[in-house]
């Protein structure tokens, strides 16, 4: 009997060797050799242009791919000396203001350079306006001296209405205006922008020697210059796919399957009769949640997701990348059978579920890598409903909610539950709706015995049919 194996650590763009400081050859999840480069992504743009939002998304995306990234927000450094500045603080003729702002930028760059000394730390985002050519040159020189590449990312947007909406959405609640009247805060912030406008210089041909990506009007035009390597192009490609149109993503596991009933994993089973009931209720649940919004449904290529989606009156697309985690030689076994036949591996999986790879199968880490195009497509899309499987759903959820690799493989996602995720500035809102159709539980807690309860673990909801539960992360 073959022993199962452990997935090697760090399949995606992580160092294969850490002996050389600046330029190690690495292999990503699909076996592509990439150079180990340390990159400082330097945000550029007037206030309220979405720089912080972009920076946070990039950090979350890279973290999901196991690339260690960190954001250094100059505003946070400035707040230590000047917690609640008025617009006049940002006037360049205000010498004291200038001194404190430069000191904040220096402190952030210094911390960032120290952070880069750890070999695993690959991408830093320097989040500030960096709105003059002189400031950007200073950052580039500092990074060059440390052997750190720079990628300047400018967000340029002159849509007054959008900027005012941004100010109202995020700026009036910023710590800079804590306890202040929102109307007054919005006025002051508008004035702060005016201070920056006086000195703002967009990236142009004078900076043709720099690597940059200029995002104009939320991506309606993108100018890229001197993108040099794989990692930079991954970041730029991600940025090119982002949009800020309001939308939601709904995710659901397939209805209860015959394998769920018998406690077997993997396979390509049909729905149970309760699973079929869930499929019949799903259109009503989706309608209640999404109203008349246009939607596209994505399923895997396995029968149980297509069967669950079959009554949904929307365009459907099936993706191989959404198929359940491949359990290799354990496909078709119950957890109890795996524990009996492969006790060591059963234990090893509990110890490091994210990295554990079934013999001839996959780990959670492998699933994340194959889901990357799905995430990219999701970022480009608007309202999407994904009907998929437990492990795949956990990985998609982890991307949106920033869940850790330790926690995400253990997340409880009951059958017959529809999850609505709504990306908002700096957070994703979550809502769960349960169908009033019982189903077995397929969840097993870390270190617990491999038992299977063929009777429904989920209690029947009284009425109404859908129980909403709202959580914000
Ligand atoms: P500051 O310089 O004050 O820190 P900022 O540029 O970092 O401002 P954010 O705090 O990120 O701005 O602003 C978030 C708002 O910007 C959100 O309302 C978001 O919808 C919006 N936004 C996101 N991306 C863009 C973009 N490319 N252009 C304009 N607005 C955007
Ligand atoms: O005004 C927006 C802001 O984020 C401030 O909070 C922060 O002090 C400043 O930008 C940082 O950018 P700069 O490098 O231009 O001072």
Which of 11, 276, 323, 324 is labelled catalytic? 324
What was the pLDDT predicted at 24? 41
| Binding site members for substrate | 253-260, 304
> Is 154 part of the annotated catalytic residue set?
no
Pocket test for ligand 2, best of 74, 82, 154, 192 (most atoms within 8 A of CB): 74
> Which tokens go with 49?
């242009």
What was the pLDDT predicted at 410? 98
> Is 127 part of the annotated catalytic residue set?
yes
Which of 11, 254, 326, 372 is labelled catalytic? 254
Cα separation, 406 vs 161, in Å, equals 42
Cis amide bond preceding 228, omega within 30: no
Exposure string for 324-354, b = 16+ CB within 10 A, e = fewer: bbbbbbbbebbbebbbeebeebbebbbebbb
Find the helix packing angle between 95-115 and 133-146, rounded to 10°: 30
Is residue 120 within 8 Å of 67, Cβ to Cβ? no
Is residue 272 within 8 Å of 256, Cβ to Cβ? yes
Cα separation, 431 vs 408, in Å, equals 18
3-state helix, strand, coil in the chain (%, to 5): 40, 20, 40
Q: Point out which residues pair with 394 in neighbouring strands.
A: none
Pocket test for ligand 1, best of 45, 166, 236 (most atoms within 8 A of CB): 166
Alpha-carbon Rg for the chain, nearest whole angstrom, is 25
In this prediction, residues 238-263 reach a mean pLDDT of: 97
> Is 350 part of the annotated catalytic residue set?
no
Q: Point out which residues pair with 429 in neighbouring strands.
A: 422, 472
- Closest protein CA for atom 3 of ligand 1: 47
Strands 296-299 vs 384-388: parallel, antiparallel or unpaired: parallel
DSSP character for 382? S
Q: Point out which residues pair with 125 in neighbouring strands.
A: 41, 71
What was the pLDDT predicted at 186? 97
Q: Say which residue, 24 or 378, is predicted with more confidence.
A: 378
Closest C-alpha among 212, 227, 193, 239 to residue 54: 239
Cα separation, 424 vs 231, in Å, equals 27
Cα separation, 29 vs 34, in Å, equals 11
Q: Say which residue, 472 or 415, is predicted with more confidence.
A: 415
262 CB-contact burial (10 Å; exposed 0-12 / middle 13-18 / buried 19+):
middle
Cα separation, 370 vs 368, in Å, equals 6
How many C-beta atoms surround the C-beta of residue 251 within 10 A? 22
Element holding 221 (H helix, E strand): strand 221-225
In this prediction, residues 432-449 reach a mean pLDDT of: 95
| Binding site members | 253-260, 304
> Which tokens go with 419?
């999850």
**Cβ–ligand 2 contact at 105 (below 6 Å):** yes
Cα(291) to centroid of ligand 2, in Å? 41
In this prediction, residues 394-417 reach a mean pLDDT of: 97
Record the pTM: 0.90
pLDDT, one tens digit per residue, over 58-116 is 999 999 999 999 999 999 999 999 999 999 999 999 999 999 999 999 999 999 999 99
Q: For residue 451, what pLDDT band results from cuts at 50, 70 and 90?
A: confident
In sequence order, the 6+-apart residues with CB closer than 8 A to the CB of 400 are: 249, 421, 423, 428
Is residue 230 within 8 Å of 149, Cβ to Cβ? no
User: CA angle at residue 79 from 40 to 176, to 5 degrees?
Assistant: 110
Is residue 250 within 8 Å of 289, Cβ to Cβ? yes
Beta strands in 58-120 (DSSP E): 68-73
């Amino acid at each position: 009997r073959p022993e199962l194996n452990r997935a090697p650590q760090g399949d995606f763009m992580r160092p294969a060797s850490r002996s050389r400081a600046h330029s190690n050859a690495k292999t990503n999840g699909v076996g592509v050799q990439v150079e180990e480069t340390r990159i400082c992504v330097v945000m550029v743009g007037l206030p309220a242009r979405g720089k912080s939002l972009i920076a946070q998304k990039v950090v979350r995306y890279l973290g999901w791919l196991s690339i260690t990234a960190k954001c250094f927000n100059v505003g946070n450094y400035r707040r230590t000396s000047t917690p609640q500045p008025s617009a006049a603080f940002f006037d360049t003729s205000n010498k004291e203001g200038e001194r404190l702002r430069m000191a904040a930028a220096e402190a952030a760059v210094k911390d960032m350079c120290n952070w880069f000394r750890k070999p695993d730390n690959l991408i830093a985002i320097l989040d500030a306006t960096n709105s003059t050519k002189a400031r950007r040159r200073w950052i580039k020189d500092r990074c060059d001296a440390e052997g750190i590449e720079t990628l300047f990312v400018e967000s340029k947007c002159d849509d007054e209405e959008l900027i005012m909406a941004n100010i109202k959405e995020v700026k009036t609640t910023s710590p800079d205006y804590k306890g202040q009247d929102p109307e007054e805060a919005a006025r002051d912030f508008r004035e702060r922008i005016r201070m920056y406008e006086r000195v703002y210089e967009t990236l142009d041909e004078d900076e043709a020697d720099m690597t940059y990506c200029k995002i104009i009007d939320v991506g309606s035009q993108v100018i890229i210059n001197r993108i040099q390597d794989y990692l930079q192009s991954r970041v730029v490609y991600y940025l090119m796919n982002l949009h800020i149109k309001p939308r939601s993503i709904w995710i659901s596991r397939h209805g209860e399957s015959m394998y769920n009933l018998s406690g077997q994993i993997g396979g390509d089973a049909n729905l149970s009769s309760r699973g079929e009931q869930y499929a019949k209720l799903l259109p009503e649940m989706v309608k209640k949640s999404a109203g008349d919004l246009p939607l596209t449904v994505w399923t895997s290529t396995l029968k149980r997701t297509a069967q669950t989606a079959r009554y949904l009156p929307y365009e459907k697309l099936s993706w191989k990348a959404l198929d359940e985690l491949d359990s290799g030689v354990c496909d078709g076994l119950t957890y109890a059978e795996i524990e009996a036949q492969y006790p060591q591996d059963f234990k090893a999986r509990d110890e490091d579920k994210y990295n554990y790879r079934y013999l001839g199968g996959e780990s959670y880490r492998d699933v994340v890598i194959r889901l990357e195009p799905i995430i990219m497509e999701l970022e480009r899309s608007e309202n999407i409903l994904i009907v998929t499987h437990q492990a795949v759903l956990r990985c998609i959820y982890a991307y949106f909610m920033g869940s850790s690799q330790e926690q995400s493989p253990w997340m409880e996602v009951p059958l017959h539950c529809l999850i609505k995720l709504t990306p908002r500035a700096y957070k994703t809102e979550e809502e769960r709706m349960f169908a009033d159709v019982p189903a077995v539980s397929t969840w097993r807690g870390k270190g617990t015995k491999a038992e299977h309860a063929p009777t429904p673990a989920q209690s029947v909801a009284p009425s109404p049919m859908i129980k909403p539960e709202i959580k914000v992360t």
